[in-house]
Amino acid sequence: DVKVTQSSRYLVKRTGEKVFLECVQDMDHENMFWYRQDPGLGLRLIYFSYDVKMKEKGDIPEGYSVSREKKERFSLILESASTNQTSMYLCASHRVRGYYEQYFGPGTRLTVT
């Protein structure tokens, strides 16, 4: 089974802090994604990566950056956390060939105070 893990299930940070969310997948998937999930808005794509060191902006990249130094690891960085970044963050991955179904991690619930 594909396994996608995220470094923290719950995280509380202060406004202005730099925040790192880590995601690791163990199935050698080429593509990885970061979403944020908010009630009534569904999942919104922040960034995705289609190869090591390659990234592309999603629909809501403002206030975020990403890093992919190794194929299995994709990090989301909040340069200066703000209260409007309080949300559930979900990481996903998929392989390029096939049905393109994405496999999700358990999520990180981030609260910025």
Partner 1 sequence: AQSVTQPDIHITVSEGASLELRCNYSYGATPYLFWYVQSPGQGLQLLLKYFSGDTLVQGIKGFEAEFKRSQSSFNLRKPSVHWSDAAEYFCACRYGGATNKLIFGTGTLLAVQP
Strand partners of residue 67: 75
- CA pair distance 54, 46, nearest whole angstrom: 14
Quote the longest CA-to-CA distance of the chain.
42
Find the binder of partner 1 among 7, 11, 13, 43 (CB under 8 A): 43
Among the listed ranges 11-19, 43-51, 63-71, 74-82, the one in contact with partner 1 (CB under 8 A) is 43-51
- In the complex with partner 1, the residue whose CB is nearer, 21 or 92, is 92
Work out whether 63 is an interface residue with partner 1 (CB under 8 A): no
The backbone region for 100, taken as left when phi is positive above 0, alpha when psi lies in -120 to 50, beta otherwise, is left
- In the complex with partner 1, the residue whose CB is nearer, 53 or 100, is 100
Coil vs helix vs strand at 93: strand
Residues within the interface to partner 1 (CB under 8 A): 4, 9, 31, 33, 40-43, 45, 48, 50, 58, 90, 92, 94, 96, 99-107, 109
